[in-house]
Structure 1
């Protein structure tokens, strides 16, 4: 894949005197959000980004919270997330929000706010790189699902997250059954927002994880494009 990224800085939240890279479900004390709220966070973050940087993507839910520079105070951001959780992205106890429902609700948000975009979860596996590239070229962040192990979710296979260093890429964490937001790519490396921090995913490792340990029904993207 060729290099690509969002046109504007990704949203940041001022929390405890530090700027995050997107939101973090672990800021909430409740087990439901902190343990299973990654989909709600990812969806809220991309809709906030679109609201902030595209005139035709203004949503009623965010009008009072707009910040021209893309930096939100933690209390303002948390209020946004709780509103979106209540209206669009409910957290199912012990599960979170499945990808298919997340896609439906992003689409419902667009329709309700008369935004000329449409969303759906899931594209053919071979099309995922081009769809990510197309969305970033149109300055739309990409929700990527790292699905659970399939068909046996209790297995322990996970996907690695990396930090970018002067020497290359250093493995720093790993996860499964998690939503992240793709904000750019460099060669085979996807730059992502997760847990309020910037990480990198090796796309070929992601493909291998989906093929060997998960499946494209639960490991895929929320594809957003202009409505015809």
Structure 2
């Protein structure tokens, strides 16, 4: 039997984030792609193409409400309907209302980071939620990481921007999204004592036997590439001590993905910037 390798994990308390039920499937938060794009001049068309920030904001309100009944509001009840999950048809009505009242998604511009923070503050003030949000500028590698860790420790989702290419705003460079899977590796161990019938017979120059401990680790496969100009919600951080990597668990387009923090920061340095690729700090 293999031994599961324990990564260092910092995550929201609600492991299913915002469960949206649609066609017998449970989604990991909502998706802008659910809004029809039939009418070019309609609100749904704008949400479909530019609504990722509004989705992130709407899901944030729902997550806080799901975690604490005192944060359920007249607005979140449009989606929740007194229960602890969200039906797709109610979710759509709810997001439209969030957009009408708070985020006001714009064609081409979408929702700027400063506007997202202002929307959260307006909502917090209207319903006496008690949170204050600010769009952070110029965050370093370590400052950003510490803010994400702090917010997750306080059970607050992190709205993160993968900004556009700068200065060429329509550039195609971006980062990859990954899916997680498990695999088994053999780790050399001086302390591991296997069954004598299963020990490795490799011998070192000093004639000492080497033992290999089977370890179950998480690995990642690329499923999307060159993502930019997009908001995601960070729901967890995974620090892998074997690979020395930091992976961010995110909600995007109703699914759970992972992004490599090092790749994200390299993208900021090489193709984007710390003013548009940043996060909403909430405390």
TM-score normalised according to structure 1 size = 0.94
Kept in 2, the 8 Å contact 1:150–1:213? The answer is: yes
- 1:117 partner SS: coil
Kept in 2, the 8 Å contact 1:10–1:70? The answer is: no
Higher alpha-carbon Rg: 2
Structure 2 unaligned residues grouped into runs of 5+: 1-6, 38-44, 184-218, 240-245
- 1:164 partner SS: strand
- The 1:147–1:224 alpha-carbon spacing in structure 2 relative to 1, beyond 3 Å, is same
Alignment of 1:1-228 (within 5 A): 2-8=8-14, 9-30=16-37, 31-66=45-80, 70-123=84-137, 124-125=139-140, 126-167=142-183, 168-174=219-225, 175-187=227-239, 188-225=246-283
Q: Larger % of helix: which?
A: 1
Structure 1 unaligned residues grouped into runs of 5+: none
In structure 1, how many angstroms separate the alpha carbons of the residues matched to 2:11 and 2:82? 20
In structure 1, how many angstroms separate the alpha carbons of the residues matched to 2:61 and 2:86? 14
Q: 2:192 is matched with which residue?
A: none
RMSD between aligned residues: 1.6
After superposition, give the CA deviation of every residue in 1:50-85 in whole Å (9 maximum; x if it has no partner): 012124433331235436764211011111101100
In structure 2, how many angstroms separate the alpha carbons of the residues matched to 1:217 and 1:70? 36
Kept in 2, the 8 Å contact 1:11–1:70? The answer is: no
In structure 2, how many angstroms separate the alpha carbons of the residues matched to 1:88 and 1:69? 24
TM-score normalised according to structure 2 size = 0.76
- The 1:203–1:68 alpha-carbon spacing in structure 2 relative to 1, beyond 3 Å, is farther
Kept in 1, the 8 Å contact 2:61–2:76? The answer is: no
In structure 2, how many angstroms separate the alpha carbons of the residues matched to 1:67 and 1:61? 10
User: Once the 2 structures are TM-superposed, how far is the Cα of residue 19 of structure 1 from its aligned partner?
Assistant: 0.8
- The 1:60–1:18 alpha-carbon spacing in structure 2 relative to 1, beyond 3 Å, is same
The runs of at least 4 consecutive aligned structure 1 residues that moved more than 3 Å come to 67-70
Total equivalences in the alignment: 225
Kept in 1, the 8 Å contact 2:78–2:91? The answer is: no
Moved more, 90-99 or 36-45: 90-99
